[in-house]
Chain A
Amino acid sequence: AQKVTQAQTEISVVEKEDVTLDCVYETRDTTYYLFWYKQPPSGELVFLIRRNSFDEQNEISGRYSWNFQKSTSSFNFTITASQVVDSAVYFCALRVGAGRRALTFGSGTRLQVQP
């Protein structure tokens, strides 16, 4: 069975601060994919990143960066110089194998960026 843990339920920061959202996953499969999604108040999921288990390279996209470490089964997400528009719930998710499989989501972290 797969499991995704996001221990931080809610984080509040002041604008321009950096913030890291933690994600720890569990799976026995050697082939898996990790995702981060943003869910603003509208509810629609916004895809942020997908990373497969064979690619441990960290990735940076603008103010967003991701740190994937298989040794600790973690896939953390950092927002640099946070902005009010970053306020949302962020979900980490896991999918094992390729093909038509569903995602297992973490419980989500609610990020509040104060002006």
Chain B
Amino acid sequence: GAVVSQHPSRVICKSGTSVKIECRSLDFQATTMFWYRQFPKQSLMLMATSNEGSKATYEQGVEKDKFLINHASLTLSTLTVTSAHPEDSSFYICSAPRLRGLTPDTQYFGPGTRLTVL
């Protein structure tokens, strides 16, 4: 079946550095991907919608200059957390929907990336 992968699964970085997280659809093309953030013991909150060939759409309150999204190809979206701070420590999860004609799309979630900023 379809799979979405994320890399890295876990990253620890120092405050002020930038971290890139990759999200790949492994056996289907995804012109749209979603990035969610989950703080400890909280729900998943949509951060942004990544669109291949165009700019990402950010949810209210998400800084686009801090969370850079690049949908480089039909199978890859990257999220770069720039100048990371401890408050950016979170679990980042991507998802990719695969359309199946007129039937509702099936959305596949990546395994998540746990970011810890020291």
CB-based contact A106/B43 at 8 Å: yes
* Complexed CA–CA distance, A105 and B97 (Å): 16
Is the Cβ of A52 less than 8 Å from the Cβ of B112? no
Tell whether B71 is near chain A: CB-to-CB under 8 Å.
no
Complex CA gap A108/B91 in Å reads 15
**With contacts defined as CB atoms under 8 Å apart, how many contacts are there between chain A and chain B in the complex?**
55
Bound CA span A42–B113, Å: 11
Shortest CB-to-CB span from B6 to chain A, Å, is 10
Over the window 81-112 of chain A, the binary record of Cβ atoms lying under 8 Å from chain B Cβ atoms (1 yes, 0 no) is: 00000000001000100111111111110100
Bound-state Cα–Cα, A107 to B44, Å: 8
Contact of B34 among A37, A42, A102 (CB under 8 A): A102
Contact assessment for A102 and B46 in the assembled complex, using a CB-CB cutoff below 8 Å: yes
Q: In this complex, which of A95, A101, A104 has the most chain B Cβ atoms within 10 angstroms of its Cβ?
A: A101
**Interface of chain A, main secondary structure:** loop
Q: How far is the CA of A98 from the CA of B100 in the complex (A)?
A: 10
Those of A1-60 within 8 Å (CB) of chain B = 33, 37, 42-45, 47, 50, 52
**Which stretch from B21-29, B61-69, B73-81, B103-111 is at the chain A interface?**
B103-111
Are B93 and A52 closer than 8 Å at their CB atoms?
no
A105 touches B104 (CB 8 A): no
CB contact under 8 A between A44 and B34, given known A33-B104, A105-B44, A107-B42: no
Task: List B contacts of A107 (CB < 8 A).
Answer: 42-43
A11 → chain B closest CB, angstroms? 15
Closest to A37 in B: B109
Q: Contact at A45–B109, with CB atoms within 8 Å? A: yes
Q: Are B93 and A45 in contact (CB under 8 A)?
A: yes
Q: A45-B109, A105-B44 are in contact. Are A52 and B104 (CB under 8 A)?
A: yes
**5 pairs of residues in contact across A and B, judged by CB atoms under 8 Å:** A43-B91, A50-B104, A50-B106, A100-B105, A104-B46
- For the complex of A and B, the 5 pairs showing the least CB-CB separation, nearest first, are A100-B32, A44-B111, A45-B109, A43-B112, A105-B44
